[in-house]
Amino acid sequence: MKKRNPSSPALGKKKTEWAPYLLISPAVILIVGVMLYPLCKTFYLAFQNYNPAMPFANGFCGFDNFIKIFTTGEFYSALVVSLKWVVAEVILQVVFGMIVALILNQKFRGRGFFRALVFVPWAMSGVLTAVLFSLIYNQNYGVLNDLLTKIGLISENVAWLASTKVILGAVVVAELWRGIPFFAISLLAGMQGLSQDVYEAARVDGANKIKTFIYVTLPLLKDTIVLTTLLRTIWEFNSVDLIYSLTGGGPVGKTTTLSMLIANQALTTNNYGYGSAISVVSFFILAIIAVIYMKASGFGKGSEE
């Protein structure tokens, strides 16, 4: 029987076919380890009683965790706070981000410096932002109370992080400061890619700046706006670092979003099974929101459609 030559074309072809898979294998392993395994583990724990502090009670519990979710008020309260948080953040961030992007799209001296400066808050972590705003909001020596007192808007210091009336708004402003740069940079990048011929045609037709923005800029930026708002909705819905560092979900649950509820179940009560069940419910809520939003916005379709 004739032995095959190791250098034959058949073996060389086989090596060539496996080469792409070998090259992408590190990325695949990383994705499986970082994303797929935790996701499967969360779905598994959602049907378990799992508390490291009480190992004798651990085991399969069926749908008990989900029944507990929908029969207790803490889930619905956290869901309402989450919706308020996401709607306020996304709307305000896209509006102010658009304003900043329009300003930075103009030609003026030092434009490159200000473009880099705008990106700084986005590069800061949620924990660092929480420390910064905890100093700003401090009731006794915070700069915000001092400024508002000097201009006569308040007569006594406000406990921004303790008052149930203003706490959610205070945290929204802190996250707003960090989130505006994302929209500003994304929308500015979209504006830089728009053809100037369209704007020349609009000027020839007598359109002013407001009409040009409404009928030219916004339609051309539609896909960018839809994608960035969807991404930001998902990120804000899952945001936990700034809220956890700034308020811990308090006072009396006024800033307890679903993500904060999950974190509290894991870090405070060690009830990983119940926390995982809330994570699964949150996953499906986000999936439904994403599908409806993409369908309603017509993402990927031309502005003429």
Binned at pLDDT 50, 70 and 90, residue 301 comes out as low
3-state secondary structure of 1: coil
Residue 185 within any structural domain of the chain? yes
- For residues 45 and 17, give the distance between their C-alpha atoms in angstroms, rounded to a whole number: 39
* Cβ 261 vs Cβ 78: under 8 Å: yes
Count of domains observed in the chain: 1
Q: What is the CATH number of the domain that holds 251?
A: 1.10.3720.10
Residue 83 within any structural domain of the chain? yes
Residue 3 confidence (pLDDT): 54
Phi-psi region of 3 (alpha: psi -120 to 50; beta: other; left: phi over 0): beta
Residue 27 within any structural domain of the chain? no
Residue 16 within any structural domain of the chain? no
Residue pLDDT, tens place only, 2-30: 555 555 555 545 555 788 888 888 888 88
List, in order, residues 6 or more apart from 164 with CB less than 8 Å away: 251, 252, 254
Residue 180 within any structural domain of the chain? yes
Residue 286 confidence (pLDDT): 92
Whether the predicted pLDDT of 251 surpasses 80: yes
Structural domain harbouring 236: 76-269+276-297
- For residues 184 and 85, give the distance between their C-alpha atoms in angstroms, rounded to a whole number: 20
Enclosing H/E stretch for 48:
strand 48-49
* Cβ 46 vs Cβ 58: under 8 Å: no
For residue 53, give the nearest of 282, 300, 290, 273 by alpha carbon: 273
Residue 7 confidence (pLDDT): 52
Residue 207 within any structural domain of the chain? yes
Residue 283 within any structural domain of the chain? yes
**How many angstroms separate the Cα of 221 from the Cα of each of 23, 98, 177, 194, 197?**
36, 11, 23, 9, 16
For residue 216, give the nearest of 293, 115, 100, 304 by alpha carbon: 304
Kindly state the percentage of the chain with pLDDT values over 90.
Answer: 40
Which of 13-22, 56-65, 89-98 is predicted least confidently?
A: 13-22
Tokens 């649950």, located at residue: 253
Whether the predicted pLDDT of 138 surpasses 70: yes
Over residues 191-195, mean pLDDT: 86
For residue 70, give the nearest of 266, 285, 267, 235 by alpha carbon: 285
Tokens 């705008």, located at residue: 118
Residue 68 within any structural domain of the chain? no
Binned at pLDDT 50, 70 and 90, residue 136 comes out as very high
